[in-house]
Amino acid sequence: MNKRIVGAMMTALIVIVVIVWSFPFFELISASFKSPADFFSSSFLPEHPTTENFAEIFSDPKTGVMLRNSLIIVTITTIVSVLLGTLSGYALARLGLRPWVIGAVIFVLLFFRFYPRIAMVIPFFVMMRDWGLFDTPFAVVLGHLSITIPFATWLMLIAFRGLPNEIDEAGAIDGATLPQRFLHLTLPMVGSSMATAGVLTAVLSWNEFLIAQSLTRSNNPVLSTGVASFITDAGVKYGSMAALSLIICLPIVIFALLMQRHYVAGMTMGAVKG
């Protein structure tokens, strides 16, 4: 009896926590349907609901450019990172490097993930200007690749190192060459890790702000820089700010829920392999 009461209280607690933690999302949805006047009242729901904010966002040609640029950047970054990361992760796992070399490689790969990125952004800005790529989506692609290639390599290196050798050795005895074994025996076993690398790369690239903000200007904004550019505090632009924020959130939320298994696997990798 006592146990059932405790169970019911736990369930109630969980429901409350979930509602409290997701409340800001409801505020976002509500605000995106508010009219300018509603931002002067403290009512949670819009008093004069309107789709005006979305109409305004989509009638602005900039929004199309942002969407297009973000999609281009995410697609190229993800494909190239997974491809190069898989190849290099495989090479590093199979080159028969000494353990301390592998340790050093892993340290460098993690260092690229964690050092102050602002240090790289300043020279990158100069580099892109000199290469004539400044203010194009390709500058942002190169900027993202500088983070995601080492990251994908790290993930894939760990995946390849975790594979049993027996299958590969059996293939070698049957006379298959290394490229053949790589394609037909090894690669199929790391499909799920490749998906993990792809999902994490895509999420990072879609959400990334510092590099995109530093390497583009008004000609080629991406979604994240567009979302961050509502710096007017006049209270007038809140509606469109909410609408555009909703537009950048919605695809990634759906994507993350669909790919939840891979996303969680990637995010908790350190804890599991540690």
Restricted to residues 50-79, the positions that interact with other proteins (CB under 8 A) are none
SS3 10: helix
Where helices occur in 162-259 by DSSP H, the ranges are: 166-173, 178-181, 191-207, 210-215, 223-228, 238-258
- The letter for the amino acid at 4 is R
Residue (54 or 90) nearer to other proteins, CB:
90
Min dist CB 59 to other proteins, Å, is: 20
Q: What's the CA gap between 53 and 230, in Å, rounded? A: 13
CA 207 to chain centre: 6
Asked if 271 is part of the footprint of other proteins (rule: CB under 8 A), the reply reads yes
90 binds other proteins (CB under 8 A): yes
The residue behind tokens 């301390």 is 100
Contact 66, 223 (CB under 8 A): yes
Q: Does 42 bind other proteins (CB under 8 A)?
A: yes
In whole angstroms, how close is the CB of 31 to other proteins at the nearest point? 5
CA dihedral 169, 171, 173, 178 (to 10 degrees): -80
Residue 122 binding other proteins, by CB under 8 A: yes
Q: Which of 57, 93, 140, 194 binds other proteins (CB under 8 A)?
A: 93
**Binding segment (CB under 8 A) for other proteins, from list 49-57, 59-67, 189-197, 259-267:** 259-267
163 and 189 in contact (C-beta within 8 Å)? yes
Task: Pick the stretch among 55-63, 132-140, 142-150, 187-195 that binds other proteins (CB under 8 A).
Answer: 142-150
| Integer Cα distance of 4 and 14 in angstroms | 15
With CB under 8 A as the contact rule, the residue among 57, 120, 140, 190 that binds other proteins is 120
125 binds other proteins (CB under 8 A): yes
Note whether 41 binds other proteins by CB under 8 A: yes
Tokens standing for residue 30: 């509500």
Q: Is residue 138 at the binding interface for other proteins, with CB under 8 A as the rule? A: no
Euclidean distance between CA atoms 81 and 139, whole angstroms: 15
CB of 55 to other proteins, least distance (A): 19
Q: Which CB, 72 or 83, lies closer to other proteins? A: 83
Q: Which of positions 161-220 make contact with other proteins (CB under 8 A)? A: 161-162, 165, 168-169, 177-179, 182, 203, 206-207, 209-210, 213-214
